[in-house]
Structure 1
Amino acid sequence: MKILSADYLLPISSEPIENGAIAIDETKIVAVGTTGKLAEKFPGAAPENFGEAVIMPGFVNCHSHLEITAMRGFLDDVEGDFYSWLMKLTLTRGEKLTEKDVEIAALAGALEGVRAGVTSFGDIGRFGKAGFEALKTNGLRGVLFQETEFSPKNEDAENDFAKLKDKFLDLRETETELVKVGLSPHAPYTVSRKLFERITDYAIEKNVKITIHVSESNQEKDFMESGAGFFAGVYENLNLEWNAPHTSSV
């Protein structure tokens, strides 16, 4: 057992504790209080004092894309235009970055998170394995959400779901106590209605966590509410059918 102490401890669920400490038994926090009280309660524990510092729970990044960490700064010139941003990201990830590039980027992003105090991630990835392995390698906790590809055709839903399921099950074989796998139907404008239904039914049946991108841009809003705008043009150019639900994504 050991006792970690500092000038301040932030339990979050209660007021800050001056000269605070936590007692740790192997991998579990078993007590929280002042340094003096914990030293009395656990006289045999090994002490470690961090001095002028704060001990607090780790941060949670509930929506990350570790696999595109290498693009930091690369998209800044188009961040005000969602269409340009999306196209630049998609083309670069699909045509420029190698599988090794993506793996290294994910590792770098996870390590950067550790250094910033992030201990848990909800990471979303097309190349799901990269983020999954990055979380495990860095000893982090989290869920890797395997993301769908561009899958707008109802007639392809079964095949699209089979591919997604294969990726999901491959990752699930090596889940750990800390890192689990979920599913991410990317967004309302990239996933067909039938594929959404298949993913939803499967997630409910198998108790699988899900995350999704919604209401990210005015272009999405126009497409969902009226069937017009940028995404309507994309669908038309690809000869894809779209029946707008005439409601917001939310």
Structure 2
Amino acid sequence: MAASAETDKIRIYQADWVLPIVSGPIQDGAVAVAGENIRAVGTRTAISAEFPDAEIINFHHTILLPGFVNCHCHLEYAVFRGLLDNRSFGNWILDLIDLKRKIGYEDFVASSELGAAECTASGITTLGEAMSSGASFDAIRKAGLRSRVYQEVLGIDDHQLAETLARLSARLDRLVEQAGRLIEVGIFPHATYTVSPKLYSAVGEMAKEREMKVSTHLAESGTESKYIKSGTGVLALDLREKVGWDQASHEPFGVTPVKFLQQWNVYNRDFMAVHCVRVNPDDVAILAKNDVAIAHCPKSNAKLGCGIAPLPAFFQAGIRVGIGTDSAASSNIMDMFG
């Protein structure tokens, strides 16, 4: 009787094809689910025979597969779709800052809910969310998405380093307390042009102490590479003036963004670099040696004219690579099929 009662709770999803990913495709496949747990995967004949009293839902001419993992996104920017087209990377950054200043927290909440709904509708079930204002946190919980929410941190002026770290620590404490079982909290030092070396190092230490993952935008554009190598360009001048960092000192480092970060001991298996478009063979070797993962965002890279990431080199080096939509502000869509 107990076995029969358990069988009554099982629901079988059938489709012309089931793609388990970890094994080959199954024609006329089925998946047996009990509550939130997958009980069995196989042919519809075998699964129906194993659970004869289960409810059956047949999707017919479809392909059934696990939910997508969107490794990098910014749900808060969903409402900026189409507002930042036809811009170079540097000008895109400057105009994004202006747009963010024009809306309030409640607008970011609505934007996050829109982004979460679009992700869910396209089959995304897990996110790597780079969160700025905090608005996307509740949207993710409301949508029932599994997520690693990376709290963004920025800071160039090391005179404010202690205050920056204190604010970050307090925010992380609140997020961990509210996270629940589907959300993991991480840290997102924004990029090499918005985070000082000392802040990167401090974030790395904080992440180790808290056993958290770290992610950052890295080697995304030629504009970023120019800033790190020669200390010039839009990011060195216009960006710093716009956000009030024009008085903070900056010296060129003469290296690539990947080599720049290597100096501050942030790379490890728990570090995910987003983009990695402007990398050379030495950079790839550094990332592979430190077991750094990469979030590849092809739509964003294309829209902003950043280039094409060398995926074959990543794979040959044994680097873990996932796909990200990035934000609708830089890709216009948060759909893995778009």
TM-score (norm 2): 0.70
Hey, what's the Cα distance between the residues in 2 that align with 1:220 and 1:99?
Answer: 29
Asked if 1:157 is matched to 2:143, the reply is: no
Hey, what's the Cα distance between the residues in 1 that align with 2:253 and 2:198?
Answer: 14
2:56 matched residue in structure 1: 47
Equivalences, count: 245
Hey, what's the Cα distance between the residues in 2 that align with 1:124 and 1:117?
Answer: 19
1:214 matched residue in structure 2: 218
Q: Deviation at 1:207?
A: 0.7
1:110 matched residue in structure 2: 116
Q: Deviation at 1:242?
A: 1.3
Structure number with the bigger relative contact order (C-alpha 8 A, sep ≥ 6) is: 2
Q: Give, as a single letter, the amino acid of the residue that structure 1 aligns with 2:14.
A: S
Structure 1, 97-106 or 9-18: larger mean CA deviation: 9-18
Hey, what's the Cα distance between the residues in 2 that align with 1:181 and 1:110?
Answer: 17
1:190-246 per-residue CA deviation (whole Å, 9 max, x = no partner) reads 111221111100101111111100112212101111222222324587121113332
1:92 matched residue in structure 2: 99
Q: Deviation at 1:105?
A: 0.3
C-alpha contact (below 8 Å) 1:158/1:195 kept by paired residues? no
Asked if 1:64 is matched to 2:73, the reply is: yes
Alignment RMSD (CA, Å): 1.4
1:80-139 per-residue CA deviation (whole Å, 9 max, x = no partner) reads x1121001101110x2111111000000100011111111110112112x1111111011
In structure 1, stretches of 5+ residues that fail to align are none
Q: Deviation at 1:25?
A: 1.8
Hey, what's the Cα distance between the residues in 1 that align with 2:18 and 2:176?
Answer: 36
Deviating beyond 3 angstroms after TM superposition, the runs of 4 or more aligned structure 1 residues are 234-237
Q: Give, as a single letter, the amino acid of the residue that structure 2 aligns with 1:127.
A: S
1:185 to 181, 189, 192: 189
1:147 matched residue in structure 2: 152
In structure 2, stretches of 5+ residues that fail to align are 1-9, 259-338
Hey, what's the Cα distance between the residues in 2 that align with 1:77 and 1:221?
Answer: 21
Match of 1:69, SS state, is helix
Match of 1:24, SS state, is strand
1:135 matched residue in structure 2: 140
Hey, what's the Cα distance between the residues in 1 that align with 2:127 and 2:61?
Answer: 28
Hey, what's the Cα distance between the residues in 2 that align with 1:208 and 1:77?
Answer: 37
Q: Deviation at 1:164?
A: 1.5
2:207 to 187, 197, 203: 203
TM-score (norm 1): 0.94
